Structure 1
Amino acid sequence: MQSIIDALSAGHDDNGGQINIAKREIKGTVVLMKKNVLEFNDFNASIVDRFDELLGRGVSLQLISSVHGDPPENGNKGKLGKAAYLENWIPTIAPLKTGETAYDVTFEWEEEEIGVPGGFVIKNNHHNEFFLKSLTLEDVPGEGRIHFPCNSWVYPAKRYAKDRVFFTNKSYLPHEMPLPLVKYREEELVGLRGNGQGELREWDRVYDYACYNDLWDPDDGDADNARPTLGGSAEYPYPRWGRTGRPPSKSADPKVESRLPLLMSLDIYVPRDERFGHLKMSDFLLNGLKAIVQIVKPELEALCSEDGNEFDSFDDALKLYDGGVKLPRGPTLDNLWKDIPLDIINLIFHTDGERILKYPLPEVIKESRTAWRTDEEFAREMLAGLNPVVISILQEFPPRSKLDAKVYGNQDSSISEEHLRHQLNGLTVAEAIKTNKLFILDHHDTIMPYLRRINDNTTSKAYATRTILYLQNDDTLKPLAIELSLPHPDGDQFGAINKVYTPPPADHKEGSLEEIIWQLAKAYVAVNDSGYHELISHFLHTHAVIEPFVIATNRQLSVVHPIFKLLHPHFRDTMNINALGRQVLINGGGLMEFTLYPAKYCMEFSSSLYKHWNFTEQALPQDLKKRGMAVPDPVSKHGLRLLIKDYPYAVDGLDIWSAIRNWVANYTSLYYKTDDAIRSDVELQTWWKELVEVGHADKRDEPWWPKMRNRDELIESCTTVIWIASALHAATNFGQYTYAGYMPNRPTISRRFMPEEGTLEFEEMRENPDRVFLRTITARLQTLLGISLIELLSTHSSDEFYLGQRDTAGWTAELEAEAAFERFGKALTEVEERIVERNGEENLRNRYGAVKIPYTLLFPTSEVGRTGKGIPNSITI
């Protein structure tokens, strides 16, 4: 009898004949991370799960056939195999540190039922969720190894209307999907879209759109924090963010969404798979922001009210780094410390128990405490600093305003040839313009429409500025004139009141009045540039504009769609950081308003600039051409000739751009052989249509949107998305502490106007210029809070993945795609080598400047911490 059983098991009768037996076992390995490992060291979760296992309520998986389906009347859905269960859950002791656990699973496989598995259904019958990394099947008949990348939280089955389904790592355009899997693909996307109703909970996997309607809380009774809803109107256009469905406020304004208390900030809804990973510095960002708002801010307010809110000298300001700030003691403030983890307290306060706030020395003053004050460094940072994306070539003189003259009167510049002619090395202004020698940093038109309200209704006293610069023979820039403009006191329609300042003469004495006034003029420019950088270049042009791409991609492109696989790594953590930003950074009364000169008009100002946002101009080559910083040149590298050869952001950026574009072109060509394949891709077309018409609905009628009708448009669009989410964000974020950690170099607020001759303020400036300078720019409290914040935002986490890296092994089954990605990584390594070489060339003075900081903001990789380099795949902080 045993011989017969053995023969049947081998597929033969006892006479050696073939028996039609197509049933066998397939071994698989499931990799997951338990909730108690990942989040809270929640031992209760582990105990409850083990109890569920004892009762037979384990984790079941069923394979889905990709070749055998139900009858058409049942939707042709792929047949399901018998349920298999994870093995050895109970004896597996969950580690006390972050880690993955592998479980065996054994499937019963039948040729006529399953054939080739194309997906699987998983049911979590435990009480707690877990993070499912992958399933790998071995020795599948006719296929060998099959891998299912999952990377998703799986909640108890009762939380889902439909069972969770995961697919293999094969890529399929919609029309290529095996018929038995099509319905599963469609149902998955329907679930991700939701129904647009109700408050969303942590287990919901819904990606939906909303306007920025939660920037203030009408229920807190503070009407001064009232802010307009951004998005959905011609007056305040804005990109959409992820809907939470929270109920409206209880006040008289039902259009405003209720807000969560700060202590519940972690509970703000984003789809769970978009939440920060388990290694995100132990919720470093959230706890760090809480520490700043709950501890640093009240402690420093107490300190500054007691000791004064001013720096009396530059030496006084340097004590922040050399000696630190002793914080006050008191029972009320002491109690606040208990709410924040000790490692966060130590990090924010740089303390091992002493209540001393001591900041690391910013690189901008490491080599020299005064080099930041030079004209060379002031100009260099427009090419290689935090905001190298605004400077443009001067095309007409004097500069003319584009503001509506019927509303704002004459806003043209008052800078004349007389202001410049002695500084042009014998050239006329016309000759200097013709030879591409004159450039401008123009913050006039962007700021002027808000300037009267800012100066009248906040503590700021700011100007709209224009700065003219001259390109010298060594490729460095020299500032020639700064124009400070104010609205006319009799009304906007009467135009601007302009005053022009020029550098002190070459033979001026150190500390002369001309030098002091010029230093103040540069500070007003830096205030403009700092506000524009933080609100526009950084937040609007990266964080805000990318979020609709995150939402649309998850709603309309299946996880097996090749474009989903291309873009998905570049969306990691973005919805989460944006949600936290709305809670404590960009909200009414939040940290941005407290530390930037537009104050309560910060987000309105940002909205006004979104009116001019153009997706196609976010492509680096288009941006450089628009600003006149480069011109087409077919024989030059990248097809462009830079008008300033030593423009570090552009030089390194074009190398990065080209590497990204080559990767995108090579990858997409594997799946789209013709333009018609683009046009006939239903998911792709729906994705792009929704992105434009819903995600960026306030810009939906703009003619510049790509029509997504050919491969060139797809390649350029995907390259631009990746560029924004990775390199552009890195260039405008990770150098914040390097340059702005020393506030006099990058002041964010101006509190006094330029002293006028004959006034007491003017005499004070003559007698004590440093004191006047410091009492004009950002005050002590805002300085301390500002640099606490930007140190946090300049820091790489330990779970960062950089451009050219993937967080998922086996992300694709296509060997050609893997090979193209490897070539991308090698190209980025070559870029790194070129950056190191350039930074070693002493003739490239803009790459390190008087402050001796090499330009590394577009260096692709980095170590953990605040390094001033590294391009993460996505906007994670």
Structure 2
Amino acid sequence: MKDCSFYFSAICGMVGVNFLGLLDCTESWKDLNDIKKVFFFERTENSDLASQLWMEDTFFGYQFLNGLNPVMIKKCLRIPDNFPVDDVTVSMTLGPSTNLQTELQNGNIYLADYKILEGIPSNVINGEPQYLAAPMCLLWKSPQDKIVPIAIQLNQTPGEENPIFLPNDPEWDWHLAKIWVCNSECHVHQIVVHFLSTHLFAEVFNIATNRQLPMGHPIYKLLLPHLRFTLEINTLARANLIGPGGHFDQFIVTGKGGVPLVIAKAMKILTYSSLCLPDNIESRGVESLPNYFYRDDGMKIWQAIESFVSNIVHYYYPSDESVYKDPELQAWVAEIYKEGFLSIQSSGIPSSFATRAELIKYLTMVIFTCSAQHAAVNSGQFDFFSWMPNGPASMRKPPPTRKGTTTYQSILETLPTINSTALAASVVRLLSTEPLDRRPLGTYPDEHFTEEMPRKFIKEFQEKLVEISKDIKERNLRTFE
């Protein structure tokens, strides 16, 4: 059933853009509004909103909280040395009642830094060289509790040919700077936050679970439903998306060799805290950011999973010693550490368990990664990225080296061609489409636990998820009416 729905969605997406003659056209767009032709056959309320709001600074900032990559933004307590922003630079944006130093001290300044893209080779698409930047974007929590960009530098090394773009610059200069950030956001999201941190890590958990844990093991029974179809979708991704000759080679600037280099960089800076939502929120200093629904909703789901896992662990493991002395469990976590996380000690990722608390946190991370986290960074791709300027997969002109040179026409010449846009939109449509046999978190039709207490724990977990879902829907109605 999943295969049928998946391939039907894939064929429908390609047939639609092909019918309009978009896949064979290597020209630039003549007008930004023409991009709406790409999703003529399918659109959502949110994709329409993205096409209407993409130029607004508030929508640009909102996406750092509740868009496809809600884990990029970090509190900035000190401006980086290679990003020479001072009070004078941002005074017109902040207004006369405050200054940069005051806002830094008050915890209202945030940073999105795409250094990971520095030095990554760029693709050639339709015979044209493509370009990649490694921008730094300074964000401000305004008195209206909006996150807005206040300064953008498009590369890591400051200098005369790497100007800092500001909201009060000429209109198209500022819009192009934001588009470059959106381009970088697209790559970090797709390669690191989505593919590596959910798909590939889920594959690691899947393989180790099947190799090291017997089918009768309680942790095998706990994890198995959350690893369904992991290997199948990853095999498809390797063959058709990121592999040689795949779609990434055809429309994304990091295709033809860039993807594994970005993944390698990401693995070097990976931390256990980045995979555990409460620690991730704390380490980025975003505990008090208003309207951060990813954090608020994610924490409710994390706590529900943690409570469920805790009940299971305490039922099957009466003491810390029983965890420590479980050879199959220790072999499982050791294999994940060695083969999946490459034995990188600096990551802080456990290679063994000494206590039940350690096991509970780790299992919560595994289930959250394979369910809620993947949904958060995957399911909205069509909503946000089908409007191509909000997440262009490639750029055909290099980043501007001077202000005052950007025009509407030069932006059209920088953005992806018509066929690249159509192919990218087809891919994000496919990735966002739920399969017909979708199983939401907590849905376990294949009963693995036969004892009364674990089945009671599952029922309590399901009831909590229903309650969370109801609360979120009611909050959304109040917030977005």
Task: Output one character per residue of 1:791-830: Cα deviation in whole Å (capped at 9) or x when no partner.
Answer: 111111111111111021x432211111111111111111
Q: How many residues align?
A: 477
Q: Does 1:413 align with 2:83?
A: yes
Q: 1:310 aligns to what?
A: 28
1:695 CA displacement: 3.6
1:391 CA displacement: 0.6
For the residues of structure 1 that align with 2:231 and 2:160, how far apart are their CA atoms? 41
Q: Does 1:659 align with 2:330?
A: no
Give the letter aligned to residue 742 of structure 1. Answer: W
- Going from structure 1 to structure 2, the CA distance change for 1:720 and 1:703 (only over 3 Å counts) comes to closer
For the residues of structure 2 that align with 1:304 and 1:564, how far apart are their CA atoms? 45
Structure with higher strand content: 1
Q: 2:2 aligns to what?
A: 280
Give the counterpart of 1:434 among 105, 110, 117.
105
Task: Output one character per residue of 1:252-305: Cα deviation in whole Å (capped at 9) or x when no partner.
Answer: xxxxxxxxxxxxxxxxxxxxxxxxxxx2152x4356557878x789x6998665
Q: Does 1:811 align with 2:467?
A: no
The answer to which of 734-743 and 310-319 deviates more is: 310-319
For the residues of structure 1 that align with 2:391 and 2:2, how far apart are their CA atoms? 29
Question: CA contact under 8 A between 1:485 and 1:499: conserved in structure 2?
Answer: no
For the residues of structure 2 that align with 1:380 and 1:623, how far apart are their CA atoms? 19
For the residues of structure 1 that align with 2:344 and 2:436, how far apart are their CA atoms? 37
Q: Does 1:517 align with 2:173?
A: yes
Q: 2:471 aligns to what?
A: 834
Give the counterpart of 2:325 among 662, 680, 685.
680
1:499 CA displacement: 1.4
Q: 2:233 aligns to what?
A: 577
Q: 2:148 aligns to what?
A: 478
- Going from structure 1 to structure 2, the CA distance change for 1:684 and 1:773 (only over 3 Å counts) comes to same
For the residues of structure 1 that align with 2:259 and 2:375, how far apart are their CA atoms? 22
The 5 Å alignment of 1:16-165 reads: none
1:480 CA displacement: 0.7
SS in 2 for 1:545: helix
Give the letter aligned to residue 649 of structure 1. Answer: Y
For the residues of structure 1 that align with 2:111 and 2:296, how far apart are their CA atoms? 19
Q: 1:463 aligns to what?
A: 133
The answer to which of 377-386 and 698-707 deviates more is: 698-707
For the residues of structure 2 that align with 1:800 and 1:304, how far apart are their CA atoms? 30
1:385 CA displacement: 0.8
Which has the higher relative contact order, 1 or 2, with Cα contacts under 8 A spaced 6 or more apart? 2
Q: 1:562 aligns to what?
A: 218
Task: Output one character per residue of 1:97-129: Cα deviation in whole Å (capped at 9) or x when no partner.
Answer: xxxxxxxxxxxxxxxxxxxxxxxxxxxxxxxxx
1:660 CA displacement: 0.5
The 5 Å alignment of 1:338-737 reads: 358-366=40-48, 369-397=51-79, 399-400=80-81, 412-425=82-95, 426-443=97-114, 445-450=115-120, 453-454=121-122, 459-485=129-155, 498-504=162-168, 514-600=170-256, 601-629=258-286, 642-697=287-342, 699=344, 703-705=348-350, 707-737=352-382
For the residues of structure 1 that align with 2:213 and 2:142, how far apart are their CA atoms? 51
Unpaired segments of 5 or more residues in structure 1? 1-278, 322-357, 401-411, 489-494, 506-513, 630-641, 843-847, 853-877
Give the letter aligned to residue 500 of structure 1. Answer: I
Give the counterpart of 2:437 among 799, 802, 805.
799
1:478 CA displacement: 1.7
1:616 CA displacement: 4.1
Task: Output one character per residue of 1:225-270: Cα deviation in whole Å (capped at 9) or x when no partner.
Answer: xxxxxxxxxxxxxxxxxxxxxxxxxxxxxxxxxxxxxxxxxxxxxx
- Going from structure 1 to structure 2, the CA distance change for 1:579 and 1:559 (only over 3 Å counts) comes to same
Q: 1:350 aligns to what?
A: none
1:529 CA displacement: 0.2
For the residues of structure 1 that align with 2:291 and 2:394, how far apart are their CA atoms? 31
For the residues of structure 2 that align with 1:695 and 1:755, how far apart are their CA atoms? 40
1:446 CA displacement: 0.9
1:725 CA displacement: 0.3
SS in 2 for 1:478: strand
- Going from structure 1 to structure 2, the CA distance change for 1:456 and 1:836 (only over 3 Å counts) comes to closer
Q: Does 1:789 align with 2:427?
A: yes
Task: Output one character per residue of 1:28-53: Cα deviation in whole Å (capped at 9) or x when no partner.
Answer: xxxxxxxxxxxxxxxxxxxxxxxxxx
Q: 1:255 aligns to what?
A: none
Question: CA contact under 8 A between 1:365 and 1:372: conserved in structure 2?
Answer: no
SS in 2 for 1:498: coil
Give the letter aligned to residue 54 of structure 2. Answer: W
Q: Does 1:741 align with 2:386?
A: yes
Structure with higher helix content: 2
TM-score normalised by length of structure 1: 0.51
For the residues of structure 1 that align with 2:473 and 2:403, how far apart are their CA atoms? 53
Unpaired segments of 5 or more residues in structure 2? none
TM-score normalised by length of structure 2: 0.92
Give the counterpart of 1:823 among 448, 454, 460.
460
- Going from structure 1 to structure 2, the CA distance change for 1:486 and 1:707 (only over 3 Å counts) comes to closer
- Going from structure 1 to structure 2, the CA distance change for 1:366 and 1:300 (only over 3 Å counts) comes to closer
SS in 2 for 1:691: helix
1:653 CA displacement: 0.5
For the residues of structure 2 that align with 1:300 and 1:531, how far apart are their CA atoms? 28
Task: Output one character per residue of 1:182-239: Cα deviation in whole Å (capped at 9) or x when no partner.
Answer: xxxxxxxxxxxxxxxxxxxxxxxxxxxxxxxxxxxxxxxxxxxxxxxxxxxxxxxxxx
1:571 CA displacement: 0.5
Give the letter aligned to residue 185 of structure 2. Answer: D
Q: 1:750 aligns to what?
A: 395
Give the letter aligned to residue 484 of structure 1. Answer: L
Q: 1:77 aligns to what?
A: none
Question: CA contact under 8 A between 1:386 and 1:739: conserved in structure 2?
Answer: yes
Say what the alpha-carbon RMSD is for the aligned residues.
2.7
For the residues of structure 2 that align with 1:595 and 1:732, how far apart are their CA atoms? 20
Q: 1:319 aligns to what?
A: 37
- Going from structure 1 to structure 2, the CA distance change for 1:303 and 1:777 (only over 3 Å counts) comes to closer
SS in 2 for 1:628: coil
- Going from structure 1 to structure 2, the CA distance change for 1:734 and 1:567 (only over 3 Å counts) comes to same
- Going from structure 1 to structure 2, the CA distance change for 1:289 and 1:608 (only over 3 Å counts) comes to farther
For the residues of structure 1 that align with 2:337 and 2:160, how far apart are their CA atoms? 37
Question: CA contact under 8 A between 1:486 and 1:497: conserved in structure 2?
Answer: no
For the residues of structure 2 that align with 1:709 and 1:652, how far apart are their CA atoms? 30
Give the letter aligned to residue 385 of structure 1. Answer: G
For the residues of structure 2 that align with 1:782 and 1:465, how far apart are their CA atoms? 23
- Going from structure 1 to structure 2, the CA distance change for 1:725 and 1:780 (only over 3 Å counts) comes to same
1:449 CA displacement: 2.8
For the residues of structure 1 that align with 2:313 and 2:431, how far apart are their CA atoms? 34
For the residues of structure 2 that align with 1:503 and 1:619, how far apart are their CA atoms? 35
For the residues of structure 1 that align with 2:359 and 2:308, how far apart are their CA atoms? 13
SS in 2 for 1:811: coil
Q: Percent identity?
A: 28
Question: CA contact under 8 A between 2:133 and 2:180: conserved in structure 1?
Answer: yes
For the residues of structure 2 that align with 1:395 and 1:694, how far apart are their CA atoms? 36
For the residues of structure 2 that align with 1:415 and 1:589, how far apart are their CA atoms? 42
1:466 CA displacement: 0.9
1:773 CA displacement: 2.0
1:362 CA displacement: 4.0
The 5 Å alignment of 1:237-276 reads: none
- Going from structure 1 to structure 2, the CA distance change for 1:807 and 1:736 (only over 3 Å counts) comes to same
Question: CA contact under 8 A between 1:310 and 1:775: conserved in structure 2?
Answer: yes
- Going from structure 1 to structure 2, the CA distance change for 1:558 and 1:701 (only over 3 Å counts) comes to farther
- Going from structure 1 to structure 2, the CA distance change for 1:551 and 1:755 (only over 3 Å counts) comes to closer
- Which structure: larger Rg? 1
- Going from structure 1 to structure 2, the CA distance change for 1:286 and 1:736 (only over 3 Å counts) comes to same
Question: CA contact under 8 A between 1:280 and 1:799: conserved in structure 2?
Answer: yes
For the residues of structure 2 that align with 1:497 and 1:739, how far apart are their CA atoms? 31
Give the letter aligned to residue 618 of structure 1. Answer: L
